[in-house]
């Protein structure tokens, strides 16, 4: 007797938003950011970073781009599907070989 498998897939969209406030006058924040990024940046590129916190936001951004989002101080999950009132559901039945034979 043939065997089948039914599956329900819920399709959600979640945007993970990592944020961190910084002050371009803060030596402490600049030093902490550089310490987080040191192992992630090219050695020569890291050596070119200024010792004092730069006013140029492009430099800050270039360093932030090198660190993992989990290093940022804040995380906000924006459940887009919930905000829009729900999520999509896909039902499928597949055969023993994994071929989808029914889908709704």
Please tell me whether residues 52 and 94 are part of one structural domain. Answer: no
Strands 100-103, 74-79: pairing kind = unpaired
Indicate whether 26 and 66 sit together in one domain. yes
| Per-residue pLDDT tens digits for 3-13 | 999 999 999 99
CB contact at 8 A, 69 and 18: yes
Asked if 102 and 64 sit in the same domain, the reply is no
Q: Model confidence at 90, in pLDDT bands (50, 70, 90)? A: very high
Q: Are 26 and 67 members of one domain?
A: yes
Average pLDDT over residues 76-85: 88
Range(s) of the domain holding residue 95: 1-19+77-104
| Structure token pair of residue 60 | 């800050």
Indicate if 29 and 66 belong to the same structural domain: yes
Query: How many domains, the chain?
Result: 2
pTM of the model: 0.69
Tens digit of each residue's pLDDT (9 = 90 or more) over 42-80: 999 999 999 999 999 999 999 999 988 878 888 889 999
């Amino acid at each position: 007797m043939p065997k089948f498998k039914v599956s329900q897939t819920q399709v959600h969209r979640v945007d993970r938003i990592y944020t961190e406030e910084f002050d371009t006058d803060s030596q402490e924040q600049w030093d902490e950011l550089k310490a987080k990024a040191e192992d992630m940046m090219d050695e020569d590129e890291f050596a070119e970073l200024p010792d004092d916190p730069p006013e140029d936001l492009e430099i800050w951004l270039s360093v932030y781009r090198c660190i993992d989002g989990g290093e940022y101080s804040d995380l906000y999950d924006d459940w887009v599907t919930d905000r829009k009132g729900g999520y999509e559901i896909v039902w499928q039945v597949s055969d023993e070989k994994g071929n989808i034979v029914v889908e709704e």
